[in-house]
Chain A
Amino acid sequence: MKKPFGPNWPFAIFAVLAIFPLFPVLDQWFFQATSRSLGDQLPTLFIFGILALALNVVVGYTGLLHLGIAAFFGIGAYVTGILTVPAYPFEVGFWIALVLGTLFAAGAGGFLGLPTLRLRGDYLALVTLGFGEVVKFSLRNLDSITGGTRGLNPVPPPSIPGLSLNWAEDYKPFYFLSLAFLVGTYLLLWSLERSRLGRAWVAVREDELAATCMGLNASRLKLVAFIFAAGLAGLAGCLYASRMTSTVAPDAYDFNRSIFLLCCLILGGLGSRRGVLFGVFLLYGFDNILSPIVDDLIQRQYGTPEKIPVTVGGTQLLTLPANMFTFTGWRLFVFGVVLILVMRFRPEGLIPSDRVKEEFHPEPNPKAVVDGEAL
């Protein structure tokens, strides 16, 4: 089959992203055009990419609807916070916190998955959703441990032995660190997809009964997927806390985050690594990078938006609110329309994996075509 960019275009994009900071003129140019630094925004996107790839393990490979991935993201962030902020006696530094946060989140995944994974599809979805809410409210309410809505700060920057880097002023160190983690995750999943475990996950997704009959232990496979995704989400959480130099607030790890990531996955293409990353760059890129820029432009062009009363025949009918005249005011609407349209016309996602694409649009059997031509 012919592919527009060749089979390795994700690596081409990774390569472009890797050399982007080496040419500061690019970022300067972007900054002049938009008064925003692109290099400053991208690491967050990389972290959400890791998180989406984690969610993809459960939803995409194993086919379980998971609505609470943000909880494990939050657990990773808060473990990092507790282990590194000066308010606690640990202050173990970034790398140990990264390992422990990942393990702790994975453990939480096992704790949730062990009793609940026997639940049927939608019930499982609700349990993950409920767990996410429980974690969010616990983070908010356990004020003495988590700092409540203020979060924990300051989370110190990572330290790399032998290098003294300026993490606060310069975006580049964290840019390269998060990109390295993203590429590492991508490669790990690339090999995992081809491994015995990855193929077993897909088998369980396609037909659990058949997979069980072939001797696969479906419940154990699901549990492993759950724990793996939770751990990876925890890792993303550690990076996020380090990037934000704080655990932000419990609301950063709520149901909206989970749903938004699920939308990235489905928009990009469930089960396809490149699709998932594409979805993240598309939705988060739109939300975090594009829409503030467009808002700035609108404001520069037309001034600060104000509400406009609509009068018909002298009586004031209604007032159009000010946020109707900003780009961000329409953001939910745009997302909604995009999701609906994609589901209607391309339910397999924008860049589906080969297997899923095949299921949606089965290619005509080559032999049958030959037969047809012969007739």
Chain B
Amino acid sequence: MLFAAEAFDWNNLAQQALNGLTLGALFALIALGYTMVYGIVELINFAHGDLFMLGSFLALTIVGFFGLEDPNALASAATWKVILAIVLCFLAVPVFCAGLNLAVDRVVYKPLRNAPKLAPLVSAIGVSFIFMNAGLFWGGPQDVNFPDLIPNLAGTEAPNEPETPAADAAAPAPETKASAKSAALKNLLGDSPIRLTAKDLLILGVTIPLMIALTIFVKATPMGKAMRATAQNPTAARLMGINTDRVISTTFVVGGGLAGFGSVIYALSVNTVSYQMGFQNGLYAFTAAVLGGIGNIPGAVVGGIVIGLVRTLGSAYIGETWTSALIFTVLIIILVFRPSGLLGARTREKV
């Protein structure tokens, strides 16, 4: 509890804030896909979370292809094999997600461009159902373990530590288990009380460059300029000679690609995938997008970080079971006082 201890543990707070930041960066990556699509076509793409889920399953299949699914095989696998699997995931999954998103846009959303607003929304729910069903066939109804590739790379003998019931039963005290766990999540900051693990570094090392690249893309390239113009006023953009269809396709490709990167990072750092994970994480990411002001790219990043912080700090100081309720309460309160999100422009509804 917050005030039970006589001295407030600042290190713990800093640690939770760091965890929140990394988790938030992950949510932000997914939120970007929501917000970009919304900014251009005003569609809440309910299928985005499930696209993310399918990406994780593809990563799992790729890792399985290298024979790394089994912890024992993973322990004896050569390092180059692990690195190759991870690199291949980072190449193939974003391409797959981007392609799938593009195909869905072409087949499902494109004929509905001039339909009333609810039609694409309901179609997106339909696509989400189809993706979920595909995930159900792909991974089965239970949670699937994703092999823990990262500690293996960080140079510890982690893989035979977790998930062996016999060893768990034999472990006399929880302390030994905790120390084994912290060995697996080696601190990269040496003896500092705040732990930065290889997984945190992976999340930040992938998301931050991607966000910088996206900012440059939107701010400095002709396509980015066309995107901003289309978001502002599609008709005017078309009249100025912008191929808005291509802009929309690009948006879906970029959003899908970001979701693909997000799904690989998620699988590598959380190590559990299931066909339902797209729903919950998509909901958080969508909340992040709206919190920041939907349609606003920096807003999605800010929103993602707020959600990540609320989630980790909430679990640490209020209780894990309440975090989801807390996130949505914060969302409602913020929207009551800032009706267009944190960074959203105060636009008037078009008449």
**Chain A residues within 8 Å of B, Cβ to Cβ:** 65, 115-116, 118-123, 125-127, 129-131, 133-134, 137-138, 140-141, 208-209, 255, 259, 262-263, 266, 270, 320-321, 323-324, 329-333, 335-340, 343-344, 347
Q: Which among A125, A129, A332, A338 has the greatest number of chain B C-beta atoms within 10 A?
A: A332
* Minimal Cβ-Cβ distance residue in B for A140: B321
- Additional A-B contacts beyond A126-B287, A329-B137, A338-B126 (18; CB < 8 A): A65-B118, A119-B339, A123-B290, A123-B335, A126-B331, A130-B287, A130-B331, A130-B332, A141-B321, A329-B133, A336-B127, A336-B128, A337-B130, A339-B123, A340-B130, A343-B115, A344-B111, A347-B116
Which A residues are CB-close (under 8 A) to B283? Answer: 129, 133, 255
Residue interface bits B304-347, CB-to-A below 8 A is 1, else 0: 00000000000000000110110011011001100111000000
Q: How far is the CB of B142 from chain A (nearest CB, A)?
A: 11
Q: Is B132 an interface residue, CB under 8 A from the partner?
A: yes
List B80-128 residues whose CB lies under 8 Å from chain A.
108, 111-112, 115-123, 125-128
**Chain B residues within 8 Å of A, Cβ to Cβ:** 38, 44, 108, 111-112, 115-123, 125-130, 132-134, 136-137, 140-141, 283, 286-287, 290, 294, 321-322, 324-325, 328-329, 331-332, 335-336, 339-341, 349, 351
B137–A323 touching, CB < 8 Å: yes
* Minimal Cβ-Cβ distance residue in A for B337: A115
Enumerate 7 A-B pairs (CB-CB under 8 Å) in ascending A order. Answer: A119-B339, A122-B44, A123-B290, A129-B328, A130-B287, A255-B283, A330-B133
Q: How far is the CB of A248 from chain B (nearest CB, A)?
A: 19
* Minimal Cβ-Cβ distance residue in B for A125: B44
Looking at the complex, which one of A320, A321, A331, A344 makes contact with B123 (CB distance below 8 Å)? A344
Which B residues are CB-close (under 8 A) to A255? Answer: 283
In whole angstroms, how far apart are the Cα atoms of A231 and B298 in the complex? 40
* Minimal Cβ-Cβ distance residue in B for A209: B351
Which B residues are CB-close (under 8 A) to A344? Answer: 108, 111-112, 123
B125–A263 touching, CB < 8 Å: yes
B123–A134 touching, CB < 8 Å: no
Q: How far is the CB of B345 from chain A (nearest CB, A)?
A: 12
Closest 6 pairs (CB-CB, A-B): A339-B126, A336-B129, A130-B328, A336-B130, A137-B325, A332-B133
Which A residues are CB-close (under 8 A) to B140? Answer: 321, 323
B118–A266 touching, CB < 8 Å: yes
Which A residues are CB-close (under 8 A) to B121? Answer: 65
Q: Which among A120, A134, A336 has the greatest number of chain B C-beta atoms within 10 A?
A: A336
Which A residues are CB-close (under 8 A) to B134? Answer: 333
* Minimal Cβ-Cβ distance residue in A for B128: A336
A336–B351 touching, CB < 8 Å: no
In whole angstroms, how far apart are the Cα atoms of A130 and B287 in the complex? 8
B126–A337 touching, CB < 8 Å: yes
Which B residues are CB-close (under 8 A) to A331? Answer: 133
A263–B137 touching, CB < 8 Å: no
Looking at the complex, which one of A118, A131, A137, A337 makes contact with B332 (CB distance below 8 Å)? A131
B336–A137 touching, CB < 8 Å: no
Q: How far is the CB of B258 from chain A (nearest CB, A)?
A: 21
Which A residues are CB-close (under 8 A) to B125? Answer: 259, 262-263, 336, 339
B332–A116 touching, CB < 8 Å: yes
A126–B349 touching, CB < 8 Å: no
Which A residues are CB-close (under 8 A) to B141? Answer: 323
In whole angstroms, how far apart are the Cα atoms of A130 and B128 in the complex? 19
In whole angstroms, how far apart are the Cα atoms of A262 and B123 in the complex? 12
In whole angstroms, how far apart are the Cα atoms of A308 and B127 in the complex? 26
In whole angstroms, how far apart are the Cα atoms of A116 and B290 in the complex? 14
In whole angstroms, how far apart are the Cα atoms of A270 and B116 in the complex? 12
Which B residues are CB-close (under 8 A) to A337? Answer: 126, 130
Which B residues are CB-close (under 8 A) to A324? Answer: 137
Which B residues are CB-close (under 8 A) to A347? Answer: 112, 115-116, 119
B129–A335 touching, CB < 8 Å: yes
Looking at the complex, which one of B44, B128, B136, B286 makes contact with A329 (CB distance below 8 Å)? B136
Which A residues are CB-close (under 8 A) to B115? Answer: 343, 347
In whole angstroms, how far apart are the Cα atoms of A321 and B144 in the complex? 14
In whole angstroms, how far apart are the Cα atoms of A337 and B104 in the complex? 12
A133–B127 touching, CB < 8 Å: no
Looking at the complex, which one of A116, A134, A266, A335 makes contact with B328 (CB distance below 8 Å)? A134
Looking at the complex, which one of A129, A134, A323, A339 makes contact with B325 (CB distance below 8 Å)? A134
Given contacts A127-B331, A133-B325, is CB(A340)–CB(B290) below 8 Å? no
Q: How far is the CB of A60 from chain B (nearest CB, A)?
A: 11
Which A residues are CB-close (under 8 A) to B290? Answer: 122-123, 126
In whole angstroms, how far apart are the Cα atoms of A329 and B294 in the complex? 35
Q: Which among B119, B120, B286 has the greatest number of chain A C-beta atoms within 10 A?
A: B119
A343–B130 touching, CB < 8 Å: no
